[in-house]
A and B are shown apart, each in its own frame.
Chain A
Amino acid sequence: MTGNEFSRFLDLLEKSVDREMSAAEIRSLVEEGYHRLACSGEFPQDSRQDLHLLEHLMAELGWQTYGSPTALEKNQPSMAEFGDLTVENCFARGVLRPGCGSYLDCISSTSTQADSLMENLLRHVEVKRQASLSKFSQELPQEAQWLERSDVSILFSRYARRRHDLRFLNAAFKMNEWYLKHTQRTDSEAVHVRFLLALAEQELSAKELLAC
Chain B
Amino acid sequence: MLKIVLFAPIDNSLYARLVAGELSKTEGVSLEAIVVRSHWNLKRFRSEFGRDGARLLRKIYQKYVLGDARFRNSDNRNLSRFAQEKSLDIQSLKAFAQTKDIPYCLVKDLNDPASEDLLRKVQPDLVAFTGGGLIRANILALPKLGVLNCHTGILPPYRGMDVVEWTSAENAIDTIGFGATLHFMDKGVDSGPIILKRTISTEPKDDFHTIRERLEVVMVELMLEGIRGLRDSTLQPQPQKIEDGRQYYVMHARVKRFAEQQLAEQIKRENNHGSE
Contacts and interface: CB of A to CB of B under 8 A. Distances in A.
Interface residues of A, number: 28
Contacts of A6: 61
Interface residues of B, number: 27
The secondary structure that dominates the B interface is helix
B54 A3 contact: no
A212 interface: yes
Contacts of A170: 249, 251-252, 255
B161 to A, nearest CB: 9
B50 interface: yes
Given A170-B255, A210-B254, A210-B255, A14 B53 contact: yes
B262 interface: yes
B169 interface: yes
A123 B246 CA distance: 11
Nearest to B61: A10
Contacts of A130: 50
A178 B69 CA distance: 36
Contact of A174 (B170, B247, B252): B252
A173 B255 contact: yes
Interface string A116-136: 000100110010011000000
A210 B55 CA distance: 23
Interface string A155-176: 0000000000011011101100
Contacts of B66: 3
A166 B163 CA distance: 13
Contact of B250 (A20, A122, A126, A210): A126
Given A3-B66, A167-B246, A13 B253 contact: no
A200 to B, nearest CB: 15
B170 to A, nearest CB: 7
B95 interface: no
A212 B262 CA distance: 7
B57 A210 contact: no
Contact of A173 (B54, B55, B252, B261): B252
A210 B258 contact: yes
8 contacts: A3-B66, A14-B54, A15-B54, A119-B247, A126-B250, A171-B249, A206-B254, A212-B261
Interface of A: 3, 6-7, 10, 13-18, 20, 23, 119, 122-123, 126, 129-130, 166-167, 169-171, 173-174, 206, 210, 212
4 closest A-B pairs by CB: A17-B54, A126-B249, A14-B54, A18-B53
